[in-house]
Amino acid sequence: MVTVRFRDVAKRFGGQRVLAGVSGELRPGRVLVVAGPNGSGKSTFLNILAGLLRPSRGDVQYLEDDRVLDQEDWYPTLGVAAPDMALYEELTAFENLQLFARLRGVHAHDHAALLEELGLAAAHHHKPLGAFSSGMKQRVKLAQAVLHRPSVLLLDEPSANLDEDGHRRVAGLVTRLRSEAAIAVATNDPREMAWGDASIDLAG
Amino acid sequence: MTERTWQKSLKWLLGFWLAGVTAAALLWAPAAAGFQGHSFRIVFFHVPQAWVAVLAFCVNLVASLRYLRGRKPLDDVRATTAARLGLLFAVLATITGSIFAKIEWGMFWNWDPRETSIVILLLIYAAYFALRQAVADEERRAALAAAYAIFAFVTMPFLIFVVPRVYASLHPNLVEAARGAVRFKMDPAMRMVLLGALAGFSGLFAWLYTLEVRVARVMAARRAKEEA
Amino acid sequence: MHRSTLLAESLAVLGKEVASELRRRVALNAIGLFAVTTLVAVAYQIGPYGLAEQDRPFLLSALLWIILFFAATAGLSRVFVKEEDAHTAKALRLAARPLAVLYGKLLFNLLLLLALEAIIVPLYCALMGFAVKSVGGLVLVMVAGGAAFAVTSTFVAAIIARASGSNALFAILALPLLLPLLVAVIAGTRAAAGSPELLAVFPALRAVVSLGGVTMVTAILLFPVVWRD
């Protein structure tokens, strides 16, 4: 079980402030909703939480049984899906999952079952991602984010580009994972906001 | 004495020292044998400039390493300041060097190993600033620039020590000359002026460097205040 | 948490690069076309008889490496630039250890360079009438030079991928770092051309290998900073 603690996280881009001192906690079994209008720094905030971007001020800690983890140790526990993150278009859906499973040292994972759970029909599993619609790509992205059973899951607009069926499947995925992971969802969609146990509003 | 007045008197001392060195270089140092007319006098300025360009490169290295370890914005300021001064002195050394080369060897540029080294140092400094210009994020800019500077520093010795030996150098070898070994014998008075100039230019670098770092520090403090 | 070994991860990255390249051929096309075009232009203008006899070993060695250098700059930065362009870097950054990314991509660039050399060098020798007295020496210089070249270009590629205006920046940043290496490999190639003794290339080879070794160690130490920040 991993808890993520962030203190006074702020970020500046070229003298422009995009994030001003956010503090809080991501706890196992809980869903934290990160809300705020476009440009309020939701994606920046998730990037900082993931350790992909260095804050201008403040810090982020991953704690496992009160022990602070190094970045090297928290990456394996982390799953991320975000609009500014893509998978390899020249590889098929299946090959993409295979690659990330191999990189993360996950063996004997049923990629096909996971893709089906997210609503990608078997006929598409072996087609290159370049030929996919954005909704189909989003489903593969979500599969990539969870295939290693992460204990921290960061979802940036998880149902972006998804239809009604897709939205239901993402909701199902979050329900299935919320008992074993600490989850943060950045969103403006009222249906996704309803998943939250707690929320941060970056606008105010 | 307070720290302020101490700094002020140091500044005056530096001014007098450089004025003295300049006068001594142009008027007091005896003419050196084996050189065209008074052309050798440029050596008293050219060698210290080249030395400061290299010194700045080393200061930049230390600041870059410290930045990567502690991630303090001030260390990034230190690295940039050293690089900026290094670029300036490398340009000066190149100009004075080619004036001397024109008089001594008949051409402004000969691709002599040391001339090549200073050009590469110039190119590295230029690349360093081109890189900084191309990265918008401040933290990332500082880290990438530091990584490039350290990597570049590691390749420089190969240029200075390994490659030049492939060819013979036209450059007067001052180190061996000081030992009285080759080509021209360095007069004790000449050596004294040269050492004085080296000290003076190092002092000039230290003064400009601390001044710029202080300005950057004040500006950072003001920005923090505005944000609060 | 189960984790893969560094070797398995590096090979997974390499495998991904090879599979992508075989399907898209962006780097192969860029490098290959550039090299063949320059080679043809040079061979047409100079050919086997365009140079005075005493200048041949030196000028031909220098020309060969200039062709290889510019062809390589056209394609070697792709390994990292394409990850940023396609926004795939983030997923890779989260899933793989930095050193696995470095090793995988370095190996891929090395393979590209060796393939380039394997095609261009024999062609060049034939078209320009470049008689190499020690083929073994030339192979040594090409392999060691290619490896050292790959280290610096891969590292610089990782840096410029995170900045804007990538391709012009690659040449600006890589040139001053590669110049000492270029001087050494040109000297080595000339030595291989001029003497049947394998030993003749050793002085240059020593410089190339030590330069490659030192830059490799530095790259290993600095890469995590460049890749993660």
List, as one string, the DSSP characters of B95-113: HHHHHHHHHHHSSS----H
**Sorting pLDDT into bands at 50, 70 and 90, what band is B147?**
very high
Q: Is A12 on the interface with B (CB under 8 A)?
A: yes
Task: Report the candidate in C94, C12, C97, C96 with the shortest Cα–Cα distance to residue A80.
Answer: C94
Q: Chain C: nearest CA to A165, how far in angstroms?
A: 25
Q: How far is C81 from chain A (nearest CA, A)?
A: 14
Question: Does some domain include residue C184?
Answer: yes
Nearest CA in chain C to A77: C1
Residue A204 sits at the chain C interface (C-beta within 8 Å): no
Q: State the average pLDDT over residues C188-213.
A: 89
Q: Averaged over A141-153, what is the pLDDT?
A: 92
Categorize the per-residue pLDDT at B12 as very low, low, confident or very high, splitting at 50, 70 and 90. confident
Report how far residue A80's alpha carbon sits from residue A103's, in angstroms, rounded to the nearest whole number: 15
The minimal CB distance from A56 to the residues B136, B139, B143 is found for B139
DSSP helix/strand/coil, B152: helix
Contacts of B130 in chain C (CB under 8 A): 169, 172-173
User: Which subunits sit against A, judged by 3+ Cβ pairs under 8 A?
Assistant: B, C
Please tell me if residue C93 touches chain A, with a CB cutoff of 8 Å: yes
Cα separation, B146 vs B211, in Å, equals: 22
- Other C-beta atoms within 10 Å of B88: how many? 17
The rounded distance, in Å, linking the Cα atoms of C118 and A97 is 35
**Which chain A residue has the Cα nearest residue B73?**
A56
Q: Quote the DSSP letter at residue B161.
A: I
Lowest-pLDDT range, B85-94, B215-224, C172-181?
B215-224
For residue A53, which residues of chain B lie inside 8 Å, CB to CB?
Answer: 137
**With pLDDT > 70 as the criterion, what percentage of chain B qualifies?**
80
- Biggest CA–CA distance in chain A, Å, is 49
Does residue A101 have a pLDDT over 90? yes
C225/B147 Cβ within 8 A: yes
Q: How far apart are CA B38 and CA B30, in angstroms?
A: 10
Residues of C in contact with B166 (CB under 8 A): 183, 187
Instruction: Count other C-beta atoms under 10 Å from residue C149's C-beta.
Output: 28
Q: Which among A203, A200, A204 is positioned nearest to A49, based on CA atoms?
A: A200
Q: Tell me the chain A residues in contact with residue C93 when contact means C-beta distances shorter than 8 Å.
A: 52
Question: What is the model's pLDDT at position B36?
Answer: 66
Q: Give me chain A's average pLDDT, please.
A: 89
**CATH number for B59:** 1.20.120
The answer to which of A4-18, A92-106, B18-32, B38-52 has the lowest mean pLDDT is: B18-32
With beta carbons less than 8 A apart as the criterion, state whether C13 and C111 touch.
no
Residue A63 exposure: Cα atoms within 13 Å on the Cβ side = 13
Residues A155 and A34: their CA atoms lie apart, in Å, by: 10
C155 touches C223 (CB < 8 A): yes
Give the separation between CA C60 and CA C190, rounded to whole angstroms.
8
Asked, for residue C1, whether it belongs to a domain, the answer is no
Cβ–Cβ < 8 Å for A3, A66: no
C151 in a structural domain: yes
Segment A171-179 shows an average pLDDT of 90
Q: Is the pLDDT of residue B185 over 70?
A: no
Distance CA A20, CA B26 (A): 59
pLDDT score of B35 = 65
The domains of chain A, with CATH numbers, are 2-201 (3.40.50.300)
**Cβ neighbour number for residue C29 with a 10 Å cutoff:** 13
Supply φ then ψ for residue A42, to 5 degrees.
-60, -50
The band of C80, judged by pLDDT with boundaries at 50, 70 and 90, is very high
Using a CB–CB cutoff of 8 Å, tell me whether A109 touches chain C.
no
How, if at all, do strands A2-13 and A57-64 pair?
antiparallel
Confidence of residue B193 (pLDDT cuts 50, 70, 90): confident
DSSP-H helix ranges across A105-133: 111-117
**pLDDT interval class at A102 (50, 70, 90):** very high
Question: Hey, is the C-beta of C180 within 8 angstroms of any chain B C-beta?
Answer: yes
Rounded CA-CA distance B50/B54 in Å is 6
Interacting residues of C144 by C-beta distance below 8 A, sequence separation 6+: C205, C208, C209, C212
Please state, in angstroms and rounded to a whole number, the distance separating the CA atoms of residues B32 and B186: 8
The mean pLDDT of B104-120, rounded to a whole number, is 76
Query: 10 Å Cβ neighbour count for B182?
Result: 11
Q: Domain range spanning residue B49?
A: 3-227
Predicted local distance difference test score (pLDDT) of residue B172: 59
Residue B182 has pLDDT above 60, yes or no: no
Q: Check C214 against B120: CB less than 8 A apart.
A: no
pLDDT at B186: 64
Establish if C228 touches chain A: CB-CB under 8 angstroms.
Answer: yes
C177 and B CB contact within 8 Å: yes
Looking at this predicted complex, what is its ipTM? 0.90
* Tokens coding B41: 């006098």
% chain A with pLDDT above 70: 100
Q: Which residue has the higher pLDDT, B197 or A6?
A: A6
Q: Does C12 touch chain A (CB under 8 A)?
A: yes
Amino acid at B170: L
For the segment C11-58, what is each residue's pLDDT rounded down to a tens digit? 999 999 999 989 888 888 888 888 888 888 888 888 777 778 778 888
The pLDDT of residue B68 is above 50: yes
Average pLDDT of chain B?
80
Residues 6+ away with beta carbon under 8 Å from C107:
C10, C14
Distance from C-alpha of A155 to C-alpha of C151, rounded to nearest angstrom: 36
B136 to chain A, closest Cα gap in Å: 6
How far is Cα C59 from Cα C51, in angstroms, rounded to an integer?
A: 8
**Domain, as residue range, for C19:** 6-228
What is the percent of chain A with per-residue pLDDT over 90, rounded to a whole number?
43
pLDDT of C146 reads 95
C139 found inside a domain: yes
Contacting residues of C for B134, CB less than 8 Å apart:
160, 163-165, 169
Contact C139, C193 (CB under 8 A): no
Looking at beta carbons, which residues of chain B come within 8 Å of A17? 227
Total domain count, chain C: 1
DSSP lists the bridge partners of residue A184 as A32, A154
Q: Please name the residue of chain B whose CA is at the shortest distance from the CA of residue A57.
A: B139
- Give the mean pLDDT of A117-143: 91
What is the CA angle A171-A64-C10, rounded to 5?
A: 80
CA torsion, ordered B14, B19, B22, B24, to nearest 10 deg = -100
Return the H-helix or E-strand segment holding A184: strand A182-186
Query: Per-residue pLDDT for B179 more than 50?
Result: no
Question: Within 10 Å of residue A130's Cβ, how many Cβ atoms?
Answer: 13
Total structural domains within chain B: 1
> Cβ B127–C176 below 8 Å, yes or no?
yes
pLDDT at B166: 43
Q: Is the pLDDT of residue B173 over 60?
A: no
Residues of B with a Cβ under 8 Å from any C Cβ are 68, 120, 123-124, 126-127, 130-131, 134-136, 139-140, 143-144, 146-148, 150-152, 154-155, 158-159, 162-163, 166
pLDDT at position B34, please? 63
Q: How far from each other are the two terminal CA atoms of chain B, in whole angstroms?
A: 36
Q: Are C76 and C32 in contact (CB under 8 A)?
A: no
C16 to chain A, any CB pair closer than 8 A? The answer is yes
Report how far residue C140's alpha carbon sits from residue C198's, in angstroms, rounded to the nearest whole number.
9
For the ranges B75-84, C89-98, C125-134, which has the lowest average pLDDT?
A: C125-134
Q: Are B146 and B76 in contact (CB under 8 A)?
A: yes
The pLDDT tens digits of the residues spanning A16-65 come to: 788 888 898 999 988 999 998 888 889 999 999 999 888 888 999 999 88
Q: What pLDDT was estimated at residue B6?
A: 78
Q: Coil, helix or strand for A61? A: strand
At residue B81 the predicted structure's pLDDT band, cuts being 50, 70 and 90, is very high
Is residue B222 pLDDT above 70, yes or no?
A: yes
Query: What dihedral angle (degrees, nearest 10) is formed by the CA atoms of B51, B53, B55, B60?
Result: -170
pLDDT at position B61 is: 95
B71–A17 C-beta distance less than 8 A? no
CB-CB neighbors (< 8 A) of C95 in chain A: 75, 100, 103-104
pLDDT at B175: 47
Instruction: Find the CB nearest C86 among A86, A100, A107.
Output: A86
Picking from C2, C5, C23, the nearest residue to A106 by CB comes out as: C2
User: Tokens at residue A96, please?
Assistant: 């993409």
* Residue C171, domain member (yes or no): yes
Average pLDDT over residues C92-106: 94
Assess whether pLDDT exceeds 70 at residue B32. no
Report the distance separating Cα B127 and Cα B141, nearest Å. Answer: 13
Local confidence band at B31 (pLDDT 50, 70, 90 cut-offs): low
On whether residue C14 sits in a domain, the answer given is yes
On the question of pLDDT at B170 being above 50, the answer is yes
User: Higher model confidence: residue B161 or residue B147?
Assistant: B147
Q: Could you tell me if residue C105 is inside a domain?
A: yes
Q: Report pLDDT digits (tens) over C155-199.
A: 999 999 988 866 789 989 999 999 889 988 999 999 998 888 888
What is the pLDDT, as a whole number, of residue A143? 93
Residues of C whose CB is below 8 A from B126: 172
* Dihedral of alpha carbons C144, C146, C151, C153, sign: positive
What's residue A106's pLDDT? Answer: 87
Chain A residues lying within 8 Å of C87, measured CB to CB: 84-86
Between CA B90 and CA B92 the distance in angstroms is 5
DSSP run (H or E) holding B62: helix B43-70
d(CA A29, CA A48): 21
* Over residues A123-144, mean pLDDT: 92
pLDDT at residue C43, rounded to an integer = 85
Q: What is the mean pLDDT of residues C48-77?
A: 85
Chain B interface, Cβ < 8 Å to A: 71, 136-140, 143, 223, 227
Secondary structure, 3-state, A9-45:
EEEEECCEEEEEEEEEEECCCCEEEEECCCCCCHHHH
Residue of C nearest to B121 (CA): C176
Residue in chain A closest to B143 (alpha carbons) equals: A54
Chain Cα centroid distance, residue C203: 21
Task: Quote the tokens at residue B153.
Answer: 């520093």
A13 contacts B136? CB cut-off 8 A? yes
CB contact under 8 A, C169 and B148: no
- For residue B139, pLDDT over 60 is answered with yes
